[in-house]
Amino acid sequence: MGEEESSIDYVIRVVDHPGQIDAAQWNALLEAQASATPFVRHEYLLALHESGSASPDTGWTARFIALNADLGSGEVLVAAAPLYLKEHSYGEYVFDWAWADAYQRHGLAYFPKLLCAVPFTPVPGPRLLARNDAWRALLLQAMQRLARDAAVSSIHLLFLDEADQRIAQAAGWMMRSTVQFHWTNREVSPYADFGDFLAGLQREKRKKIGQERRKVSEAGVRFIARVGAEIAPDDWDFFYRCYKLTYRAHHSTPYLTRDFFARMAESMPEHWLLFIAERQGNRLAASLIALDPARGHAFGRYWGAIEHVDCLHFEACYYQPLAWCIAHGYRRFEGGAQGEHKMARGLLPVATASAHWLAHPQFAQAVADFLRREGRAVEDYLEELEQRLPFKAESAGE
């Protein structure tokens, strides 16, 4: 810690409800981070908790950490993090089931563990909200003290931005990489429209996308896009019906409740874009996109359909959102976790990072060895994907 910070008295608080932390101070801290996203806003995390989506009843027990200090004009929030005590590994998208199995085989308890993440949201961004790196490092130390006091097996920080990665590495945490697929607009001359974007793809990719779009169009399907307050309660109802059907098709249960989306419509309406697919006045499907209007970023989130139409998923989840992003000058569209098929549709591979701390020295060493091997495999995979990019070479003519 720097000399200035070391002379400042601070208080560490661990709370079991995000509402116990001042929302305005939390959001101000978030907005000071270079990679802020809407998913770390106080309203989002509070809605997850109070809607029963991420609560003790579903295995997400809040242990939010807040560091408060008196900087001369009263006590203020200088660092904070969304932390949860977990009894399972569902809803995380960075998989550690094999680690839990290994603990069990050796007669040790892997759960509970501590998780610093946004529930059900594999979007990279800040997790250690802090005024500077010194306070960020103190957050990590506070988490480790909490882990030891609670006798938990481990701490996991998921989908970290560069600032968090740097601090975690400096503190000796184990780093892990995964791969996502993101679309990025051209910086110098942004795409004029979706056709301009398609023109940059290789011929077979353009042909495939054209075939997929024609199937949807020839099936008589059209789309309505609604943003923010334009999304009416019956639109949210229809979307949620589709959302539940997607989980049912995979013999699973939805993570998010209808009340969560009601809270989003009330507290964060400007951050949502809904596509509704219709045919002859009948609604068939919906896809929900999260928006960060201030930064020009969009995030693919959820979709579902009440009737099968060939290639409708691609149109609802990729082509309609990409066309919208281009039309509205957005810089990036993140397609969510995994999905190599996204690459053929212009979303390119991006490495994401998580950090891990294990209390048991021998298991920590074993996991570190595993992560080194896995990390090399991820690097090889990224290099392989770089050889299969869907865009035309700049010098290639057609």
Q: Write phi, then psi, for 102 (nearest 5 degrees).
A: -65, -40
Report the pLDDT value the prediction gives residue 7, as an integer from 0 to 100: 64
Report the pLDDT value the prediction gives residue 1, as an integer from 0 to 100: 41
Contact status, residue 332 vs residue 166, Cβ threshold 8 Å: no
Q: What radius of gyration do the chain's Cα atoms show? A: 22
Report the pLDDT value the prediction gives residue 365, as an integer from 0 to 100: 98
What is the spatial distance between Cα 257 and Cα 187, in angstroms, rounded to a whole number? 38
The residue written with tokens 């059209």 in the block is 222
Q: What is the DSSP letter of 74?
A: S
Q: Mean pLDDT for the chain?
A: 95
Tokens linked to 124: 């990279």
Question: What does the buried/exposed string (b/e) look like for 165-202 if buried means 16 or more CB atoms within 10 Å of the residue's CB?
Answer: bebbeeeebbbbbbbbbbbebeeeeebeebeebbeebb
In this prediction, residues 163-190 reach a mean pLDDT of 97
pLDDT digits (tens, 9 = 90+) for 286-330: 999 999 999 999 999 999 999 999 999 999 999 999 999 999 999
pLDDT digits (tens, 9 = 90+) for 107-139: 999 999 999 999 999 999 999 999 999 999 999
Determine the number of helices (DSSP H) and then strands (DSSP E) in the chain.
13, 15
In this prediction, residues 26-31 reach a mean pLDDT of 98
pLDDT digits (tens, 9 = 90+) for 258-296: 999 999 999 999 999 999 999 999 999 999 999 999 999
Q: Is the pLDDT score of 395 beyond 50?
A: no
Report the pLDDT value the prediction gives residue 73, as an integer from 0 to 100: 80
What is the spatial distance between Cα 313 and Cα 319, in angstroms, rounded to a whole number? 9
Q: Is the pLDDT score of 398 beyond 80?
A: no
Q: Is the pLDDT score of 49 beyond 50?
A: yes
Report the pLDDT value the prediction gives residue 8, as an integer from 0 to 100: 83
Global confidence as pTM: 0.95
In this prediction, residues 61-66 reach a mean pLDDT of 98
**Measured CA distances, 372 to 37, 85, 336 (Å):** 29, 27, 25
Contact status, residue 269 vs residue 290, Cβ threshold 8 Å: no
Task: Using DSSP, state whether 201 is helix, strand or coil.
Answer: strand
Tokens linked to 158: 């998921």
Q: Domains in the chain, please, with CATH?
A: 3-178+351-385 (3.40.630.30), 186-330 (3.40.630.30)
pLDDT digits (tens, 9 = 90+) for 341-351: 999 999 999 99
Strand locations in the chain (E): 10-15, 60-62, 64-70, 75-81, 83-86, 113-116, 129-130, 154-157, 174-184, 222-227, 272-279, 282-292, 297-305, 332-337, 348-358
